Amino acid sequence: MMNNDILSVIQKSNNIGITFHVSPDGDALGSTLGLLLGLIQMNKNVYIMSKENLPSSLSFLPYSNLIVSACDSVKDNTDCVIVLDCGNVERINANLDLDSRKYILINIDHHLSNDQYGDLNYVDTEAAAVGEIIFDLLKELNINIDKNIAMCLYTSILTDTGSFKYPSTTIRTHNIAGELISKGIDFNDIYKKIYENKPFSKVKLYGKVIDTMEMHCNNKACFMYLTKNMLNELNLEDENSGDVISFGTIVDSSDVTVLIKETENGTKVSLRSKYIIDVRRISEYFGGGGHTRAAGFSTDMSMEQIKLKLIEILNSELIK
C-alpha cells in the first residue's frame, strides 16, 4: 500500500517532474515512462529530467524521445518532483537545486541503500523493480494500465530481475508480469529489442573484457577489466557496457564477480555475487551502494590499486 501522503501530493499537483539515477537502465526508464503515461491520463503537466541521453537499446519504449540531456532541470511552477530507482542525492540524474526548492520531493525506490532524502519517501526493498511499485501506484490512482504503460513496466521488471532469474523475483513479480502481458504486449519482441539487439562492436568488446578474466581468492572471485583503450579500439562510446559482468557469474567456482572500468573521472567498479558476499556492504564501504547481489561504486583509486584492495577484502571474507 502506497503512502497516502504521496498519493495525495500527486493528486493535488498540476506540474510534475520525474527523474531517475545516473546511467539509467531499463528499470529507471521503464518505470519513469510508465508513470509519465499514467500521469498524462490524469491530465497532469508532466515532464522528464535527465542529464544523459537515452540508451539506444531502450528507444523502442513509448515516449522515450522525451528523454534528452537538454531537459535536465526543474521547470518553473513545478509542484512536485518524483525521483525513481535512485538511492541517494549524488546519483540523481538532474539539477534539482535542492536547497532552494519550492516543490515537494518524492523518493520512490527499492534499494536497500536508500538515504530517505525526499520530503516523502517510499522505499520497498521487497520490490524486484521500481516498475512493480509504479504498477501498484497507478492502480491506487485508478489509472487504466494500457498497452503502452504495460510495455514500459514490463521492461522495468524484465531488466531488473535479469529476465526473472534474480532472487529478488517473487510470486508478485510474476503475477504483475502476467497482468501486463494480458494487456497485449509482445513480450518476446521486448526481450529481443533489449537483449538481442547489440551492435557487433559491442559484442566484440565483451570478447576483449572476457579475455582479461582472472580468478582470485581460491577461484571464488572473478575479476574483469574494461579500459578506455578497449573502447577506442572498437570506436565505441562508453554506453552502458557493464552488462558484460554477467559472464563472470557463469564461472562454476565464482561467488563474486568484479568488473573494474576505467572512466573519464576515475574508476567505476561493479560487483555481483551468487551466494556468499554481500556486495552492497562492500560498495557502501567505498561510498557506493546497491543490492545484496548487485552493487557498485566509483573511486579515485587506480584500477590496479582498487583491484589489490578488493582482493584483500574478499580474501578475508571468502577464505576462512
Pairing of strands 221-226, 214-216: antiparallel
- Residue 293 binding target from Mn ion, ligand 5GP, none, CB below 5 to 8 Å by type: none
CB of 112 to ligand 5GP, least distance (A): 10
| Partner from Mn ion, ligand 5GP, none contacting 270, C-beta within 5 to 8 A by type | ligand 5GP
Which residues lie closer than 8 Å to 13 by C-beta, 6 or more apart?
Answer: 44, 79, 80, 104
Contacts of 80 by beta carbon, 8 Å cutoff, 6+ apart:
9, 10, 13, 16, 17, 103, 104, 105, 106
255 scored as a contact of Mn ion (CB under 5 A): no
Work out the number of other CB atoms within 10 angstroms of the CB of residue 141.
Answer: 16
Instruction: Find the part of the chain contacting Mn ion (CB under 5 A) among 26-34, 55-63, 266-274, 283-291.
Output: 26-34
Q: Out of ligand 5GP, Mn ion, none, which partner does residue 27 contact, by CB within 5 to 8 A per kind?
A: Mn ion
CB of 195 to ligand 5GP, least distance (A): 15
Where along the sequence are the contacts to ligand 5GP (CB under 6 A)?
A: 21, 87-88, 91, 113, 242, 270, 288-291, 294-298
CB 90 within 8 A of CB 103: no
Measured from the CB atom, the residue of 2 and 258 that comes closer to ligand 5GP is 258
Binding partner at 289 among Mn ion, ligand 5GP, none, C-beta below 5 to 8 Å by kind: ligand 5GP
Whole-number minimum distance, CB 204 to Mn ion, in Å?
28
> How far, CA to CA in Å, does 288 sit from each of 35, 133, 271?
27, 23, 11
- Smallest distance, ligand 5GP to C-beta of residue 255, A: 16
Which region among 82-90, 136-144, 247-255, 300-308 touches Mn ion (by CB under 5 A)? Answer: 82-90
Cell triple for 169 = 523475483
Interface with Mn ion, residue 132, by CB under 5 A: no
87 binds, among Mn ion, ligand 5GP, none (CB under 5 to 8 A by kind): ligand 5GP
**Closest to 284 (Cα-Cα) out of 146, 106, 87:** 87
Instruction: Annotate 162-189 with three-state secondary structure.
Output: CCCCCCCCCHHHHHHHHHHHCCCCCHHH
Closer CB to Mn ion, residue 230 or residue 279? 279
Residue 20 or 135 with smaller CB distance to ligand 5GP: 20
Shortest separation between residue 315's beta carbon and Mn ion, angstroms: 30
Nearer to ligand 5GP, 46 or 295 (CB): 295
Single-letter residue type at 191: Y
Output Rg (C-alpha) for the chain, integer angstroms.
Answer: 20
The three cell numbers locating residue 223: 575479476
Shortest distance (Å) from residue 169 CB to ligand 5GP: 15
- Tell which positions 142-171 bind Mn ion, by CB under 5 A: 160
Helix (H, G, I), strand (E, B) or coil at 228: helix
Q: Which residues, in sequence order, are CB contacts of 244 under 8 Å at separation 6+?
A: 205, 206, 209, 210, 224, 226, 259
> What's the closest the beta carbon of residue 86 comes to Mn ion, in angstroms?
9
Q: Judged by CB, which is closer to Mn ion: 167, or 207?
A: 167
Distance of CA 227 to the CA centre of its chain: 22
| Interacting residues toward Mn ion by CB under 5 A | 27, 85, 160
